[in-house]
A and B are shown apart, each in its own frame.
Chain A
Amino acid sequence: GQQVMQIPQYQHVQEGEDFTTYCNSSTTLSNIQWYKQRPGGHPVFLIQLVKSGEVKKQKRLTFQFGEAKKNSSLHITATQTTDVGTYFCAGPGLGNQFYFGTGTSLTVIP
């Protein structure tokens, strides 16, 4: 079945350092989405990428969709304590299903 893997599972960074999480799918995706879940909270949609090689930016966050549409990355420049949380990628499956990645938990040390 379809699998979406993310690495690393955990990341601790000093405030001000950069952070990157990588998402890899076993199948080609028509699009990929990224979500953020704050500790104790629920996932919140961040962005969707559709085109091969697409790059989108949201302030300090840069999202990239691979040329083969099987991988994606999220890069945060100069992390802040407000960036703490778990970041999930998600890709569409059969029907209306979404397959969520395993998530990367980010801890920012002040």
Chain B
Amino acid sequence: DGGITQSPKYLFRKEGQNVTLSCEQNLNHDAMYWYRQDPGQGLRLIYYSQIVNDFQKGDIAEGYSVSREKKESFPLTVTSAQKNPTAFYLCASSIFLGYQETQYFGPGTRLLVL
């Protein structure tokens, strides 16, 4: 059953704590993305990776870090430097086939600050 999985579904962070959100895909997609969604807002790009061991900052990368050691995995760490981390985090992957490139999203992780 192919798809994208994210864990956990809900995550609580204490002040000054780093937390890591998991994203795994078995679609054999090259590109992976992390987005942040705030209530009533659109999707803002945090980081993206087009290939293993390479990634680029999106529009709101400050306070976040990523790694891409395997094609299937693209974990996101929310560091203590991110002062307003409460949001819905969505991971996506995509594959380019001619003109057609669509993003497949995981179910998301809701991060709350205690």
Q: Do B58 and A97 have beta carbons less than 8 Å apart?
A: yes
Q: Do A44 and B42 have beta carbons less than 8 Å apart?
A: no
Residue from A9, A41, A45 within 8 A of B103 (CB atoms): A45
Tell me the complex Cα distance, A41–B106, Å: 9
Which stretch from A12-20, A62-70, A75-83, A100-108 is at the chain B interface?
A: A100-108
Residue interface bits B65-104, CB-to-A below 8 A is 1, else 0: 0000000000000000000000000100010100111111
Q: Do B102 and A45 have beta carbons less than 8 Å apart?
A: yes
Residue from A6, A88, A95, A105 within 8 A of B40 (CB atoms): A105
**Contact count band on B:** 20 to 34
A52: which B residues are within 8 A, CB to CB? Answer: none
Query: At the interface, yes or no: A27 with Cβ under 8 Å from chain B?
Result: no
Known interface pairs A48-B100, A48-B102, A96-B48; A42-B42 also in contact (CB < 8 Å) = no
Q: Do A44 and B105 have beta carbons less than 8 Å apart?
A: yes
Question: How many residues in A have their beta carbons less than 8 Å from beta carbons of B?
Answer: 27
Tell me the complex Cα distance, A87–B30, Å: 26
Q: Do B42 and A102 have beta carbons less than 8 Å apart?
A: yes
Residue interface bits B8-43, CB-to-A below 8 A is 1, else 0: 000000000000000000000001010100001111
Residue interface bits A80-94, CB-to-B below 8 A is 1, else 0: 000000001010100
A1: which B residues are within 8 A, CB to CB? Answer: 59
B44: which A residues are within 8 A, CB to CB? Answer: 100
A9: which B residues are within 8 A, CB to CB? Answer: 40
Separation in Å of the A47 CB from the closest CB of chain B?
9
Q: Do A43 and B43 have beta carbons less than 8 Å apart?
A: yes
**A interface with B by C-beta (< 8 Å):** 1, 6, 9, 30-31, 33, 35, 41-45, 48, 50, 88, 90, 92, 95-103, 105
5 closest residue pairs by CB, A with B: A42-B105, A100-B43, A102-B42, A45-B102, A103-B42
